[in-house]
Amino acid sequence: MMRSRSFQIFRVIFKERYRQPTLELVIPTMLVSNIFITAFYARGLFNTYGLVLAFIPLISVSETLAFALALRNIIFVTGDHIYRGSIISFIMMPIKRISLFFFTYFCDIVLPYLFWLFTTELYILLSGIPVPQYLILVYTVGYFFTENIILLTALSFKSGGIVTLLSGTILGILFIFGGIAGYYGIMTNSPLTPIATISNPYVFLIYEAISQKQVTYLNVGIYSEVIISLILFFVSLQKFRIMEV
Amino acid sequence: MKFGLLTTIGLSLLVLSLLSINSPIHSYVSISNPYSIKIPNIAYVNARLLENNSNVTVYAKLVHNGNVENIVKLPYYLELTPGIWEFSIYNETFPITLTKVINATVVNKSNGIVYVYEYQKIEKYQEIVTTKNATYPIALEVTIYKVNILQYKTIAEILGVLLLFIDIILLAFRFIRDNHKL
Amino acid sequence: MTIEVENLQKKFDDKAVLKGVSFTVRRGSITGFIGPNGAGKTTTIKILAGLLRKDTGKVKVFGEDPWDNPKVIEMISVIFTNLIHPQENTVGEYLRDLGNIYGKREIINYLIDEFKLTSHLNKKLYQLSSGLAQRVQLVAALIKEAELIIADEPTANLDPSFRMEFYEIVKRLNRKNDVTFFISSHILSELEKVITDVVFINDGRISYTGKMNQALSGVGEEEIYVMVNDSERALKVLGGILEGPYIKVKGKLREIVDKLDDSGIEIISIRRSSLDDAFKKFSNI
């Protein structure tokens, strides 16, 4: 009985985010837009360089779509519920707040990631293109890092507009200036270069692909992002648990 | 009519299995050291090997999947089948102009007196040089004229049709259930 | 006791809103929660519903702290002035979802018929009038089979006919299903016809808690409102002042009736002390 009740509550939360025809539009678009992987691969003369380019967010349609879907869920569904007060309806369901948070987190952030992962892996499998799995790993870590920033921002500020602006600014600065810093770091062989891997590892991946030299400190960025993501996650969880409406 | 998620995914798979990139992609690579390119199963590629200098005759070595395919005289055109192709310069033949000093004698008769002049003159001559160390790089022109989107088209097609079929059945069940409720 | 509150304190941004609130609500009662604006009614209700955390004090609903407590939430329902649920949902979706959550799918159709919501099932929640929205909230409370229904200004946006309908349903549920009600409202004239117990709150403190009749009887020298067929003559006989169609006069009811009878003045309507009067007294107005 209790398990069924939790499932029903999960169903309500899921339905809020994925009314028809959201999934019917998003998943096929993610799947079909992967043809750019093939296009970049061919354009790069079947080198890893082409694949790295194809997996850069904003260049990759499916990665951008996953990111945008999660952002919409966090700010314009969950955030909207909190700002308007309709979150009361969910808090008044017979479920612990921590469970409500996990259900919400799963629907908002984990599901778009799973859609992306499923469509990308299916495409890689059927196309036979040898995509290095570390490209999947780099996007995964970066995805949860950015979405956890957006989630904490949404729980901290009571306005959708402010959250959107702030998230966009923070992430834009991290990605763009991190990329620039990474580029100059590589050029000048600076000892501070590993720090830039946290905000934009793609510059280093491109460098690796072109120069055929391994960038050993890329792991610094991945581990740091994982730790920061976890911290942001637990802070958001605590904020949600003590949230007063 | 309410189309389900499975229908849209099935249709996407069917579309992908039919698609290919047919717009030719040209690439030029300058080769002085051995160069390898991996051709996947989904690609249809041809290549042209060209000498860089009109006075040079180049022989290139073609290796496919570790086996020496051929040693060919350039220019050379070939279809690149799937696998790893390696191109390297086998030898280069070109003429060089050398000079040598020769003794020349000129005899001149004038008023019954024979004048004999001896002098040295520089004479140019050409020699053909063959070397395995390439002086001039060769050009590899790669044309990818077709790339299939999917390698495993049949699997995608079967999966696509299966998903469509399952969704139609689910749609029918939903229709019967809704009618039954009314 | 359904609700037990002892020395409840709550601050917002260093401003004390509840300064030591203590009261109880007995099972099966319809308790009115009355106070002026800013007295702390909504804050108290939200703490009881588990939406706000208390700073200090004791709050027990069905014997347990309601904060983050699914066991308590399962037994209570909260009705607000407006229907608080994502407004893009239709009435049918909302009620069916609740039915699925509480495993009460069978009862939904009966309740929809009973509350005449059949023709409104496909309407989105934001399309509903205030009266319909309140009906939907009541149905939602019934789907839950809540033992305690807390209502925060539930009739604020309703016209008189819907208000009457709402209170009829309250009385019926209380009688038949033994549901306890805890209702805050500003429309005291209607509330006083329904409630059995009353809690007065003023400036973050409870000024009175107990049975209704005790609250009204302790008001002091009674103010009587009488409507007569000849107001001019009645004013000369009784004194008092004319307020609208009523003459307001202080005194004992029996004496006033006798005076008017002796003067041959017909009494159309007579009213004794009301909840409004008690409100003024306990709110220091």
Same domain, yes or no, for B172 and B87?
no
Report pLDDT for B1.
Answer: 43
Question: Above 80 in pLDDT, residue B44?
Answer: yes
Report pLDDT for A144.
Answer: 97
Q: Which of C160, C187, C217 is the last residue of a domain?
A: C217
Q: What are the E-state strand segments in chain C? A: 3-12, 15-25, 30-34, 56-61, 76-79, 148-152, 180-184, 197-202, 205-211, 223-228, 241-243, 246-250, 267-271
Question: Above 90 in pLDDT, residue B31?
Answer: no
User: Could A24 and B155 be called an inter-chain contact, meaning their C-beta atoms sit closer than 8 Å?
Assistant: no
Q: What pairing do the DSSP bridges indicate for beta strands C148-152 and C180-184?
A: parallel
Report pLDDT for B48.
Answer: 93
Q: Does residue B6 sit at the A interface (CB-CB below 8 Å)?
A: no
Q: Does residue C177 sit at the A interface (CB-CB below 8 Å)?
A: no
Same domain, yes or no, for B60 and B135?
yes
Is B73 within the bounds of a domain?
A: yes
Q: What pairing do the DSSP bridges indicate for beta strands C76-79 and C148-152?
A: parallel
Q: Do C158 and C126 touch, CB atoms closer than 8 A?
A: no
Same domain, yes or no, for C64 and C169?
yes
Write down the mean pLDDT value for chain C. Answer: 86
Is B112 within the bounds of a domain?
A: no
Residue C165's domain comprises 3-217
Please, which pLDDT band fits residue A222 given cuts at 50, 70 and 90?
Answer: very high
Give the alpha-carbon dihedral of C87, C90, C94, C95, to 10 degrees: 140
Give the alpha-carbon dihedral of A185, A186, A189, A192, to 10 degrees: 40
Q: Which of C217, C235, C268 is the last residue of a domain?
A: C217
Burial of B145-173, coded b for 16+ CB within 10 Å and e otherwise, reads: eebbbbbbbeebbebbeebbeebeeebee
**In a mutagenesis test of the A interface, which of B1, B8, B23 is the best target, namely the one with the most A β-carbons within 10 Å?**
B8
Measuring CA to CA, how many Å separate B56 from each of B48, B68, B88, B97, C148?
17, 23, 16, 13, 98
Nearest Cβ partner for A46 among B43, B149, B152: B43
Report pLDDT for A49.
Answer: 92
Chain A: give the shortest CA distance to residue B61, in Å. 20
User: Could A93 and C84 be called an inter-chain contact, meaning their C-beta atoms sit closer than 8 Å?
Assistant: no
Q: How many CB atoms lie within 10 A of CB C231?
A: 15
Same domain, yes or no, for C18 and C98?
yes
**In a mutagenesis test of the A interface, which of B3, B13, B174 is the best target, namely the one with the most A β-carbons within 10 Å?**
B13
Q: How many CB atoms lie within 10 A of CB B16?
A: 26
Same domain, yes or no, for C178 and C270?
no
Report pLDDT for A204.
Answer: 93
Report pLDDT for C281.
Answer: 67
For C164, what's the count of Cα atoms within 13 Å in the CB-facing half-sphere?
A: 2
Question: Above 90 in pLDDT, residue A77?
Answer: yes
Question: Above 60 in pLDDT, residue A2?
Answer: no
Please, which pLDDT band fits residue A82 given cuts at 50, 70 and 90?
Answer: very high
Which residue of chain A comes nearest to C141, CA vs CA? A92
Is B113 within the bounds of a domain?
A: no
Token output for B86: 């390696």
User: Could A16 and C86 be called an inter-chain contact, meaning their C-beta atoms sit closer than 8 Å?
Assistant: yes
Reported as a single tens digit per residue, the pLDDT across C188-230 is 777 878 888 989 888 889 888 888 777 666 555 567 888 898 8
Q: Do A43 and A50 touch, CB atoms closer than 8 A?
A: yes
Residue B10's domain comprises 1-19+149-182
Token output for A176: 């763009």
Report pLDDT for B70.
Answer: 84
DSSP H helical ranges for B19-152: none
Place of tokens 């229907």: C83
A vs C contact (3+ beta-carbon pairs below 8 A): yes
Which residue of chain C comes nearest to A4, CA vs CA? C101
Contacts of B149 in chain A (CB under 8 A): 35, 38, 127
Reported as a single tens digit per residue, the pLDDT across C30-87 is 999 988 888 899 999 999 999 999 999 999 999 999 999 999 999 999 998 888 888 8
Share of chain A above pLDDT 90, in %: 83
Q: What are the E-state strand segments in chain A? A: none
User: Could C49 and A242 be called an inter-chain contact, meaning their C-beta atoms sit closer than 8 Å?
Assistant: no
Measuring CA to CA, how many Å separate C215 from each of B54, C2, C32?
115, 21, 12
Q: Regarding predicted confidence, which is higher, A104 or C232?
A: A104
Q: Does residue C49 sit at the A interface (CB-CB below 8 Å)?
A: yes
d(CA B166, CA B6): 8
Q: What pairing do the DSSP bridges indicate for beta strands C246-250 and C223-228?
A: antiparallel
Report pLDDT for A41.
Answer: 95
Element housing B49 (H / E): strand B43-50
User: Could B8 and A39 be called an inter-chain contact, meaning their C-beta atoms sit closer than 8 Å?
Assistant: no
Q: Which of C162, C185, C217 is the last residue of a domain?
A: C217
Chains touching A, CB cut-off 8 Å, 3+ pairs? B, C
Report pLDDT for C275.
Answer: 66
Map out the domains of chain A as residue ranges: 2-241
Same domain, yes or no, for C175 and C149?
yes
Does residue A200 sit in helix, strand or coil? Answer: coil
User: Could A9 and C70 be called an inter-chain contact, meaning their C-beta atoms sit closer than 8 Å?
Assistant: no
Same domain, yes or no, for C227 and C209?
no
User: Could A11 and C68 be called an inter-chain contact, meaning their C-beta atoms sit closer than 8 Å?
Assistant: no
Q: Does residue C64 sit at the A interface (CB-CB below 8 Å)?
A: no
Same domain, yes or no, for C174 and C272?
no
Please, which pLDDT band fits residue C8 given cuts at 50, 70 and 90?
Answer: very high
What's the mean pLDDT in C251-260? 85
Token output for C2: 């359904």
Q: Which residue type sits at A13?
A: I
Same domain, yes or no, for C197 and C238?
no
SS (H, E, C) chain B: CCCCHHHHHHHHHHHHHHCEECCCEEEEEEECCCEEEEECCCEEEEEEEECCCCCCEEEEEEEECCEEEEEEECCEEEEECCEEEEEEEEEEEEEEEEEEEEEEEEEEEECCEEEEEEEEEEEEEEEEEEECCCCCCEEEEEEEEEEECCCCHHHHHHHHHHHHHHHHHHHHHHHHHHHHHC
Same domain, yes or no, for C53 and C122?
yes
Same domain, yes or no, for B83 and B54?
yes
Which residue of chain C comes nearest to A241, CA vs CA? C68
Q: Does residue C3 sit at the A interface (CB-CB below 8 Å)?
A: no
Contacts of A244 in chain C (CB under 8 A): 46, 51-53
Q: How many CB pairs under 8 A join A and B?
A: 70
Chain B: give the shortest CA distance to residue A128, in Å. 6
Task: Look at chain C and report how many structural domains it folds into.
Answer: 2
Report pLDDT for B91.
Answer: 81
Same domain, yes or no, for C230 and C147?
no
Question: Above 90 in pLDDT, residue B130?
Answer: no
Please, which pLDDT band fits residue A147 given cuts at 50, 70 and 90?
Answer: very high
Same domain, yes or no, for B65 and B155?
no
d(CA A113, CA A107): 10
User: Could C50 and A85 be called an inter-chain contact, meaning their C-beta atoms sit closer than 8 Å?
Assistant: no
Contacts of A89 in chain C (CB under 8 A): 84-86
For A153, what's the count of Cα atoms within 13 Å in the CB-facing half-sphere?
A: 23
Question: Above 70 in pLDDT, residue B42?
Answer: yes
Does residue A85 sit in helix, strand or coil? Answer: coil
Which residue of chain B comes nearest to A46, CA vs CA? B38
Task: Look at chain B and report how many structural domains it folds into.
Answer: 2
Same domain, yes or no, for B49 and B37?
yes
Q: Report pTM.
A: 0.86
Q: Do B100 and B13 touch, CB atoms closer than 8 A?
A: no
Contacts of C86 in chain A (CB under 8 A): 16, 81, 86, 89
Same domain, yes or no, for C207 and C243?
no
Give backbone dihedrals phi and psi of C81, rounded to 5 degrees, phi first.
Answer: -60, -40
Contacts of A32 in chain B (CB under 8 A): 12, 15-16
Which residue of chain A comes nearest to C47, CA vs CA? A244
Report B:20-49 residues touching A (Cβ under 8 A).
Answer: 21, 25, 27, 29, 37-43
CATH number of the domain residue C256 falls in: 3.30.70
Question: Above 50 in pLDDT, residue B65?
Answer: yes
Same domain, yes or no, for C60 and C128?
yes
Write down the mean pLDDT value for chain A. Answer: 93
Nearest Cβ partner for B37 among A45, A126, A127: A45
Please, which pLDDT band fits residue C18 given cuts at 50, 70 and 90?
Answer: very high
ipTM over 0.90: no
User: Could B15 and A39 be called an inter-chain contact, meaning their C-beta atoms sit closer than 8 Å?
Assistant: no
Contacts of C74 in chain A (CB under 8 A): 94
- B94 by Cβ neighbours in 10 Å (0-12 / 13-18 / 19+) ranks as middle
Least confident segment among B12-16, B129-133, B172-176, C137-141: B129-133
